[in-house]
Amino acid sequence: MMRAVTLLVVCLAPATAWVIPTFPRTASRASSRLQMSMSTSTGNMHGENSCFLPLQQMDQDFYAPRIVQIAGSYPGLTAEDVGAVTSEPAPEPGQWTYDFSDPEGPQMGTVAIEGSSVVYGCDEPIVIIAEHFSIGVELPSEITDPVDLVVLVDRARTSFKERKFLVIDVPGEGVTIGAYPAKKDMPDNAIILGQVEMVQIPWLPSMVSTKTGFMEADEYF
């Protein structure tokens, strides 16, 4: 009986990994669902007749990948582009979430960001696809064409922080990404739209892989 009830909870739960059911679980309802499951299913369930599902239990410290909407490409981004995308709450450690695009709303690109404490800590994450030249990231000299980098930005962090890379809207210029030693060094009337929390660089064939066990030596560029 418990197996049938548990299966129903998983199918009807909202988009989260672990949800306490809100509907009343009566004995008669559970019994009817169990009978329906037994009458319509011809195969074995998990644990029956030596049949086992390939289960994976999330660890309590596991950070699931986070799906983040893409605001656009940089340079050429506007403040409206940055504000147009939506941000969903991060899944709790040990859990995960999923999402379905809204067919009635604007169609935004998304990208999966590997789970970590940094990604989990973003309150309003968005992604900007930036050419590596535009933000000063150096890659091997063999790479002459622009390489798209995934820039994770937290729109909830709109306060100035010295030497932190900020996404700002400059009147007459548009959106720029940069870091400043002091607030007085920022352009006049600039509005902080968010703070860069992480930049992902893709692996390219011209990057020689070295696995020494030391972070300094394992960098590809």
Quickly state the pLDDT bin for 44 (edges 50, 70, 90): low
| Residues 6-43: tens digit of each pLDDT | 333 333 333 444 333 333 333 334 444 445 444 444 55
Quickly state the pLDDT bin for 215 (edges 50, 70, 90): low
| Residues 156-202: tens digit of each pLDDT | 999 999 889 999 999 998 999 999 988 999 999 999 999 999 998 88
Quickly state the pLDDT bin for 80 (edges 50, 70, 90): very high
The predicted pLDDT at position 213 comes to 63
Average pLDDT over residues 138-148: 86
Instruction: Say how many residues make up the chain.
Output: 221
Quickly state the pLDDT bin for 60 (edges 50, 70, 90): confident
Paired strand residues for 73: 129
The predicted pLDDT at position 220 comes to 54
Q: Who's near 127: CB < 8 A, 6+ residues apart? A: 68, 69, 70, 71, 111, 113, 150, 151, 152, 153
The predicted pLDDT at position 9 comes to 31
**Chain-wide mean pLDDT for the chain?**
75
The predicted pLDDT at position 98 comes to 64
Output the CA torsion sign for 145, 149, 155, 157. negative
Cβ count within 10 A of residue 87: 16
- pLDDT of 57 > 90? The answer is no
The predicted pLDDT at position 207 comes to 72
Whether 152 and 110 have beta carbons less than 8 Å apart is answered as no
The predicted pLDDT at position 63 comes to 85
Quickly state the pLDDT bin for 94 (edges 50, 70, 90): confident
The predicted pLDDT at position 153 comes to 94
The predicted pLDDT at position 177 comes to 92
